[in-house]
Chains A and B, each alone.
Chain A
Amino acid sequence: MSRRNLYGLMAEFDSPEEVLEAATRTREAGYRRVDAFTPIPVEGLADAIGFHWTALPVITFIGGFLGGCLGFFMCWYANVISFPLDIGGKPLNSWPAWIPITFELTILGGAIATVVGMLALNGLPNPYHPVFNVDRFELSTTDKFFLCIKSRDKNFDLGRTKTFLEELKPHGVFEVED
């Protein structure tokens, strides 16, 4: 038993319902450092492993807001400060004409912030991760569902956690090497 090199214990399930049930019971049993790996998004699974809130919409809003400000400011600065042209006494700050560019840059800023924010919060790109050391983990992108209790968890004990996971009637339980 080499706990230093152990990332956690992983159980394999056949359906989203089973893994959801298992995740809920794992959480109830007091485990906190838990993750689940599934081929499809499973509704409620993130909640079940204790993930309730993401900053993503805030990031999107900030990105969109900054993009819009940049768009409007650029048009205003170019036509009012940097290169003002008096055309028949028409107002320099003709703001309705700035709206299309402001709008487009709002969307652009929001979209880039969303994608970059999503990847950054997820810690991607991430070329190496211990879970890939499990051979059967390849099936997590086809039709198998995995639940992993990490060895960093306070309640983690190789023997007891293994027994606990086996009680959940998985397809199999694997040790994940770090």
Chain B
Amino acid sequence: MDGPDPILGPGQTLSSVTEKISSIVLGRGNTTPGWIFGAFISFCLLMLLNTVITLLAIKGVGIWGINIPVAWGFAITNFVWWIGIGHAGTLISAFLLLLHQKWRTSINRFAEAMTIFAVMCAGMFPLLHMGRPWLFYYLMPYPNPMWLWPQFRSPLVWDVFAVSTYFTVSLLFWFVGLIPDLATLRDRATGKIKKIIYGIFSMGWRGSATHWARYEFASILLAGLATPLVVSVHTVVSFDFTIAIVPGWHSTIFPPYFVAGAIYSGFAMVLTLAIPLRKYYHLQNMVTDRHIDIMAKVMLATGIIVAYSYVMEMFMAFYSANPFERAQFVERMTGQYAVVFWTLITFNLVIPQLLWWQKVRRHQMTVFLISLIVNIGMWLERFVIIVVSLHHEYEPSKWYMFFPTRWDWATFAGTIGMFFLLFYLFIRFLPMISIVEMRTLVHETSETGSHAGLYPVPPEA
């Protein structure tokens, strides 16, 4: 089954991959109508987000549909969803680097960009949800006249440290990867301003052999640090729930279940971005059908872990003989939000099973649609965990429905706009595929004479 499809199209040379990728950034006339249209729509959504934030600053979080008991509502659902999406980028750039998976080469740059932008969107929500985002620094331990500290025993404070560390490390890792590529752009740019700007950011990189040696060592060290980090981040996010005693949250399966879910939704988002990108920018030689196939397989595998978690969660609810836990799960399946629950099961568990068939994995449009469905399914999963659990706590007097207002939707749509606008700017101004790693891959495959792309490429004899 594996074999015929390469991870690199035929006939590539060092200069052809350099030319191909850098021309997307440097070439004239690349601000196409399609790019302008997409960026404009995203920009409008970003302005919608600005409007929401302004209104939120004036009126407070009451513009959202949140209430007591459902105080977390859309904001935290979106937070968990966005941060989960980020995880695939780090997994591809760090974990697969350590495992010498060569196929990651052409997708890791934009997957990492996706991580950074998704974490930025995620970070918006807890800040806005505080109601007074300008007091964000209350979250940090800083010397203050009230003599107060953050509550270091609280998972919500752990989250602050986890997410800000995650963002910083992802950004550093991404930047380090970009330095030699920025040098390439500096040397190939024709305009003076472009040369200066890329020159500043490439920091005078000159590809010296000693520099490369330290650089490669640094990449490996960063990958080694980022891999446990990515697991810890969603684990800490899951602590936000599992350390509370709300029925439906208080469960030891949450950390691994959340990490698997994060990778699941992350790979879905990578596919959602990769399939149009390779088509629109004619990158089928670099992001090949093989890549889509492998990513679909990863999605299927993590989807099965997620399915297992659902089943175990359900089983434990009944096996534990805890009436509140049991009532929570009966409510999920048959209660007021049952439609959401069953849609989630269909989207996350049933439809992705189509990926068992190779024919499906090779059909770009179908994979694209499935990736969208998984994205929606994972959002619904977080909605079920957060809203449905909160709306049906211990006492019937505390049972209350949550209905999103138009501002809930506007905030969510606004962050989607922010994400895509950042992504549009990224593909226009930075190389969306790592030029250096592609050159290395071209050299290695020509050396071993195997364009068949059996991965990992066998070590040089």
Contact surface of A with B, Cβ cutoff 8 Å: 16, 23, 35-43, 45-46, 48-49, 51, 54, 56-57, 60, 64, 71, 74-75, 78-79, 82-83, 94, 97-98, 100-101, 103-105, 107-108, 110-112, 114-115, 117-119, 121-122, 124-129, 131-132, 137-143
A38/B153 contact (C-beta < 8 A), A74-B141, A108-B168 known: no
Identify 25 residue pairs between A and B in the complex whose beta-carbon atoms are under 8 Å apart, listed by A's number. Answer: A16-B443, A36-B209, A38-B209, A39-B14, A41-B436, A45-B212, A56-B221, A57-B217, A79-B149, A100-B161, A100-B232, A103-B232, A108-B165, A111-B222, A114-B222, A115-B172, A124-B179, A126-B204, A127-B204, A132-B206, A139-B187, A141-B186, A142-B15, A142-B188, A143-B14
Q: Please, what's the 1-or-0 string for B19-37, where 1 marks a CB less than 8 Å from any CB in chain A?
A: 0000000000000000000
Contact surface of B with A, Cβ cutoff 8 Å: 13-15, 18, 141, 147-150, 152-153, 155, 157-158, 161-162, 165, 168-169, 172-173, 175-176, 179-180, 183-184, 186-188, 199, 203-218, 221-222, 225-226, 228-229, 232, 236, 239, 436, 439-440, 443, 460
Minimum CB distance partner of A15 in chain B: B443
Contact partner, B226, options A97, A111, A128, A139, Cβ 8 Å:
A111
CB of A107 within 8 A of CB of B225, answer yes
A79-B150 Cα distance, complex, nearest whole Å = 10
Contact partner, A56, options B175, B176, B214, B443, Cβ 8 Å:
B214
A157-B226 Cα distance, complex, nearest whole Å = 48
Which of B150, B203, B225, B228 has its CB near the most chain A CB atoms (within 10 A)? Answer: B225
A129/B204 contact (C-beta < 8 A), A45-B212, A51-B209, A118-B218 known: yes
A residues near B206, Cβ cutoff 8 Å: 37, 129, 131-132, 137, 140
Which of B173, B205, B207, B228 has its CB near the most chain A CB atoms (within 10 A)? Answer: B207
Contact partner, B213, options A46, A60, A131, Cβ 8 Å:
A46
CB of A83 within 8 A of CB of B149, answer yes
A142/B165 contact (C-beta < 8 A), A41-B216, A57-B221, A104-B232 known: no
A37/B210 contact (C-beta < 8 A), A97-B153, A110-B225, A143-B18 known: no
Question: Taking chain B's interface residues, is the majority helix, strand, or loop, or is none over half, making it mixed?
Answer: helix
CB of B207 within 8 A of CB of A140, answer yes
**A110-B221, A121-B214, A141-B183 given; 20 more Cβ-contact pairs under 8 Å:** A35-B208, A36-B208, A39-B184, A40-B440, A45-B212, A46-B210, A51-B209, A54-B213, A60-B221, A78-B152, A111-B173, A112-B168, A115-B172, A122-B214, A124-B179, A124-B205, A137-B206, A141-B188, A141-B207, A143-B15
Contact partner, A111, options B168, B216, B239, B443, Cβ 8 Å:
B168
CB of A142 within 8 A of CB of B18, answer yes
A40/B439 contact (C-beta < 8 A), A108-B168, A128-B204 known: yes
CB of B205 within 8 A of CB of A83, answer no
CB of B217 within 8 A of CB of A37, answer no
Contact partner, B176, options A115, A127, A132, A142, Cβ 8 Å:
A115
B residues near A16, Cβ cutoff 8 Å: 443
Contact partner, B153, options A39, A79, A82, A114, Cβ 8 Å:
A79
CB of B214 within 8 A of CB of A54, answer yes
Minimum CB distance partner of B216 in chain A: A41
For residue A139, give the distance in angstroms from its CB to the closest CB of chain B: 8
A residues near B158, Cβ cutoff 8 Å: 100-101, 104
Contact partner, B184, options A56, A105, A141, Cβ 8 Å:
A141
CB of A49 within 8 A of CB of B209, answer yes
CB of A98 within 8 A of CB of B165, answer no
Which of B150, B436, B439 has its CB near the most chain A CB atoms (within 10 A)? Answer: B439
A94-B151 Cα distance, complex, nearest whole Å = 12
A57-B219 Cα distance, complex, nearest whole Å = 11
For residue A34, give the distance in angstroms from its CB to the closest CB of chain B: 9
Can you list the 4 inter-chain pairs with the closest CB atoms, starting with the nearest? A125-B203, A143-B14, A46-B213, A126-B204
CB of B212 within 8 A of CB of A142, answer no
